[in-house]
Structure 1
Amino acid sequence: MRNILLGSMKVSVVLAGVLLAACASGPVPPDWQLEAQGAMQRSVAAYLEGNSRVEMIELARARSQLSRTGRADLLANAELLHCAARVASLVLEPCAGFEALRLDATPAQRAYADYLRGQASAQDVPLLPEAQRAAASAGASALTGMADPLSQLLAAGVLLQTGRASPAVIAQAIDTASRQGWRRPLLAWLGVQLQRAEQGGDAEAAARLRRRMAIAEGRLLPTKTP
């Protein structure tokens, strides 16, 4: 078995194995595998960095390469990865690209799609990738054992959907996104923390969070050099 989309890219751990595995046709992967792998790497990275234009260009390229195989399961992998990055960034909506393929998807893929929406059943949990299986079973306590940053953010996003994201989970998500330089999820999680500060009447914390968001958005950068 070979991971055909993300290879060794750091953010790929969250979808390794069950989502992005397919039988290799030989020692040298065909061109479509290499093209799809590179395109999905670039698409996910661009999305997390906040570059929507590059993200969509690369996603379209990956879709085109995968569609050449006529295999719904491979195309479903890409759609799930596309949506997982969004859940990590708190875009909590149905995975439309996957839903169009659901009838021909594998049980593991359907379980993962339901997990992304915070709707995984007890029967779904054994079908999830290891990191998310732990998060689905143990909740917030599983996040500290996750080495992969996208796994952490994804699990935190699902916890938020299901009402189980404590202040510590939110703080960890912010720290994780900040360390990676992932602007989109950082702003999303800072927004959650800001909302809670405002609801709690903590004006000082809210003002500090607004300043941090302005920095992340690049609004406080000097426009002219001395």
Structure 2
Amino acid sequence: MTSTPRSPHLPLPAAALLLAVLLTACGNQPAVPDWQANAHGAAERATAADLAGNDRVARQEWARARAEVARTGRPELLARVELMRCAVRLASLEGGDCPAFAPLRQDATAQEQAYADYLGGRLAPEQAALLPAAQRAAATGAVAASAMAEMADPLSRLVAAGAAVQAGRATPAVLALASDTAAAQGWSRPLRAWLRLRAEQARAAGDAPLAAQLERQIAIVETAGQPAR
């Protein structure tokens, strides 16, 4: 088995759940440095905790991932950690702006700068070509649920939907796809967020039955982990 380097482009948010610089070590390939292996594990755990709504663990593991990458003294690698964290948070409709990336922006690549602008809903048309292919399709023109449905990675799909919300281009079909995606994965934090947004829009549109149905779904998610009475 051989090791394959990651693409120089910023990876899709959950593609191997890691930074573009990490390599898979196996066979007779050189061992991966400790900082890479440690950062990989911390980022995986942080992502899982964020999606499950476990803030304490998420904070600890993101801090550990940053600390491991900081050992290299390379700001462009630290920028990727911050973008990954922002993408995971955007999947739950939290933010979009990435303040921790701002001081690292000048040392980031053009692809990473474009990705940050994409997350914040500020992507310029000429930057679209710098995004990963799957995100590029969802970031240009009218955002279609069908384009997002073709994304094999569910977290990438949620990030694309979140970016569409940030840019003011998310349709009801996009919101429904996002909540269905989160539900299928059992990701409680993004599921609550997308259901709440859909319920708000349903109420604004005067669709009381749909709003009530969505509120019932939210109530079920919020009882997760609680013993039955």
1:1-226 equivalences under 5 Å are 2-3=5-6, 12-13=14-15, 20-21=20-21, 27-137=30-140, 139-140=143-144, 141-218=146-223, 221-224=226-229
Deviation of the 1:86 alpha carbon: 1.2
Report how many residues are paired: 217
* Rounded Cα–Cα distance in structure 2 between residues aligned with 1:52 and 1:183: 13
Between stretches 139-148 and 214-223, larger displacement belongs to: 214-223
Offset, 1:97: 1.2
Q: Distance in 2 between matches of 1:70 and 1:11?
A: 23
Deviation at 1:14, TM superposition (A): 8.7
Matched to 1:190, the amino acid is: L
User: Quick one: distance in 2 between partners of 1:220 and 1:76?
Assistant: 35
**Residues 48 and 185 in structure 1, CA contact (< 8 A), matched pair in contact too:** yes
What CA distance in whole angstroms lies between the structure 1 residues aligned with 2:126 and 2:61?
Answer: 34
Where do 5+ consecutive residues of structure 1 fail to align?
A: 5-9
> Which residue type is aligned with residue 35 of structure 1?
N
TM-fit CA distance, 1:93: 4.0
For the residue of structure 2 that corresponds to 1:111, the secondary structure is helix
The two structures, once aligned, show a CA RMSD in angstroms of 2.5
Share of identical aligned residues, percent?
A: 49
- Cα pair 2:17 2:43 within 8 Å, conserved: no
Q: Assess if the C-alpha contact under 8 Å between 2:91 and 2:162 holds in 1.
A: yes
CA distance in 2, matches of 1:184, 1:102: 28
Query: What's the TM-score once normalised by structure 2's chain length?
Result: 0.86
CA displacement 1:185-206 (0-9 Å, x = unmatched) = 1011001110011112222222
Q: Provide the C-alpha distance between the structure 2 equivalents of 1:154 and 1:50, rounded to a whole number of angstroms.
A: 16
What displacement does 1:102 show? 0.8
Q: Contact 1:36/1:65 (CA < 8 Å) preserved in 2?
A: yes
CA distance in 2, matches of 1:154, 1:11: 8
Shift of 1:219: 6.9
Structure 2 counterpart of 1:81, which letter? M
1 or 2, which has the higher helix percentage?
Answer: 1
- Using the alignment, how far apart are the partners of 2:16 and 2:147 within structure 1? 14
Q: Distance in 1 between matches of 2:158 and 2:24?
A: 30
Unaligned runs of 5+ residues in structure 2 are: none
CA drift at 1:3: 4.4
Alpha carbons 2:182, 2:188 under 8 Å: kept: yes
Task: Name the residue aligned to 1:7.
Answer: none
Q: 1:108, 1:128 within 8 Å by CA — same for their partners in 2?
A: yes
How far has the Cα of 1:124 moved from its partner? 1.2
In the alignment, residue 192 of structure 1 is paired with which amino acid?
L
